[in-house]
Structure 1
């Protein structure tokens, strides 16, 4: 096992809010959250292994390894418990964290993600893309096949700068990290049992225009969780915090503030 120390941006004070990024991006996607939420919370946004400023290490691909990295980061930063938010791949890591290190989770935010495992077709697509990433040594397969589904049609029509920024983040992804992460996600287990056993409140969010994680996926997670609220975010595709940052920040701030009051 490689001990990977995650690079993380750490801003603000108050109840810790740890945000785990989507594939194939980095913690740079959380810019509007660091700016908008750090006045009230300690906002920690790590780069998952291989992405951004974090090294990949030599472990076999596994979402569990990514969750263990995050738990190690908690100890390194002196964080006992935090509200943990994950979007897309970050949601898979957040659910694995809840299963493997439940004591560090004060509350859970799941955005644009799924508790089910991959169906055979999705898994095969991930493995094919991983092979191409390794063979080509560039991320053109992600720009061609993944990028078009990351933002919704409203963003494409009305917010060209946002789409351009997302495209830049995808193009900056290290191919080896993207291949490793695709293999990790293809091999992950379903997480409904973890959600049913969760002892802390949860907030489930999904964009109304998301084609990668559906409203049905979000409802299934909210129904499995003992204590969850569901928010459908209008005019957003898969990257809700980037496409509708104000709506995302408001929902997360209200959720985290209620938790801090309850735990304080």
Structure 2
């Protein structure tokens, strides 16, 4: 059963629905709301349990998160949108493509993976979820997840960006983070969904991403029938936050081309 998501909704034009990374909230899309809302309608939901959205009582599931997004689009009167997802948001975006392809005008995948977790990664997620539940705090995320979210260039040259990401991680609700880790651990591969996609796609990856590496980005781009790949220099896993200028320019060009094609 879907929960009602809190969503920021700014601008006008072709809708862009941007889904945030783990364990952040829609606050990560500040630069996109400011940089893209003069040309597009930018909708940034808080996925269930994060930011201003309730967690609900469903079993952990990426599909449930995708159904939440479909429901918020319906509530906002959006029949089709460019769906963008970063990291965990990419998993949700791919699930939405599988469950509600009619809602997807184009797809943007940033710092994410179409493969299921390896056994080792799955065990790590479940161990972290248990610690989050047991401790009732997010220190495990600060210690183990935060260091891999940004690249070394950001650590050296963009201390304010790193500080902002750290603050967003520290603000994560422990129960929601545990739920999301279990949902991600349970997800299957999405390559069949990508192969069946009938709309254009943009795959974005930071050249310093240690979590969703360039080979995985290329595998997604190769699986998609109509995709372009952008490698962002000097960015790690959160290329959307670390190099928002490069990300925004690419998304604006991609969405503008879709808008022209739809006329």
TM-score, normalised by the number of residues in structure 2: 1.00
Deviations for 1:198-239, whole angstroms, at most 9, x for unmatched residues?
000000000000000000000000000000000000000000
- Measure the CA separation in 2 of the matches of 1:230 and 1:162: 24
- Measure the CA separation in 1 of the matches of 2:150 and 2:86: 13
Does 2:115 correspond to 1:92?
Answer: no
**Residue in 2 aligned with 1:36?**
35
- Measure the CA separation in 1 of the matches of 2:164 and 2:113: 25
Secondary structure of the 1:206 match is strand
Q: State the shift of 1:263 in Å.
A: 0.8
The aligned runs of 1:1-264 (5 Å cut-off) are 1=1, 3-264=2-263
Secondary structure of the 1:54 match is coil
Deviations for 1:109-168, whole angstroms, at most 9, x for unmatched residues?
000000000000000000000000000000000000000000000000001010000000
Secondary structure of the 2:193 match is helix
Q: State the shift of 1:32 in Å.
A: 0.3
- Measure the CA separation in 2 of the matches of 1:158 and 1:142: 23
- Measure the CA separation in 2 of the matches of 1:129 and 1:89: 16
- Measure the CA separation in 2 of the matches of 1:263 and 1:122: 41
- Measure the CA separation in 1 of the matches of 2:260 and 2:103: 17
Secondary structure of the 2:44 match is strand
Count of matched residue pairs: 263
- Measure the CA separation in 2 of the matches of 1:242 and 1:211: 16
- Measure the CA separation in 2 of the matches of 1:243 and 1:176: 27
Secondary structure of the 1:108 match is strand
Secondary structure of the 1:29 match is helix
Q: State the shift of 1:57 in Å.
A: 0.1
Deviations for 1:5-53, whole angstroms, at most 9, x for unmatched residues?
0000000000000000000000000000000000000000000000000
- Measure the CA separation in 2 of the matches of 1:188 and 1:212: 17
Q: State the shift of 1:241 in Å.
A: 1.1
- Measure the CA separation in 2 of the matches of 1:190 and 1:219: 15
- Measure the CA separation in 1 of the matches of 2:64 and 2:5: 12
Secondary structure of the 2:163 match is helix
- Measure the CA separation in 2 of the matches of 1:174 and 1:74: 24
Secondary structure of the 2:47 match is coil
Secondary structure of the 2:231 match is strand
TM-score, normalised by the number of residues in structure 1: 0.99
